[in-house]
Amino acid sequence: MSALGGVVPLATVADAASADALADGLVAGGLPVLEVALRNEWGLDAIARIAARGDVLVGAGTVLSIRQLRSALDAGAGFVVAPGLDEEIVEAALAAGVPVLPGVMTPSDVQRGIRLGLDRLKLFPAGVVGGLGMIGALAPVFPGVRFMPSGGVSAANLAEYLAHPAVFAASGSWIASPARIAAGAEAVAEAAREAVAIQQASERVSP
């Protein structure tokens, strides 16, 4: 999981041209990582298209089944993200040697993740379950676990999330929103540069 850290853009890609503009923008903006949500028929094609470039670490998000997992890995996904903690998906991803981030929102979920051998988990939906307040409550209880908040993360609160020692990454869709993708690669690059600047500032002030 060492390749994943800082800001992880999340996108639902609508077509092949969108995948190209998105990848071009992220590379130009200095943030060559992307989670593609498998929420429509374009998701797997977008993963394959972006993975073939070789300049973006692309992963599959919203993975809900073993079939989706296998298809995503065949397409070239370098990591897997799920909205919830499905033991079968986690075990299959680990067996394939691919980093996996299942979603958690309760202490029981975290304990299940630990039993599966995980110490990096996605807190989802972060904004609904308390965000930094929830992370602050979980961190002392599970000192070996770090979180990637997803859901409700924005440019406005990104710095606060990244400054928390129990946060290793933050997932957000504002960088790769449909409006930005439609506006083109430079619009995506602009948002990516802003996110990178926030991340770098957070790293400078971290203890």
Catalytic residues: 35, 122
CA distances from residue 117 to 22, 83, 135 in whole angstroms, order as listed: 33, 18, 20
The radius of gyration of the chain from alpha carbons, rounded to an integer in Å, stands at 16
Residue 104, helix vs strand vs coil: strand
Beta strand pairing call for 146-149 and 169-172? unpaired
Q: What is the torsional sign of CA 34, 193, 201, 173?
A: negative
Which residues neighbour 203 within 8 Å (Cβ) at sequence distance 6 or greater? 162
Residue 140 tokens, joined: 């002392």
Residue 104 to residue 142: CA distance in whole angstroms: 13
Residue of 6, 18, 7, 17 whose CA lies nearest to 177: 18
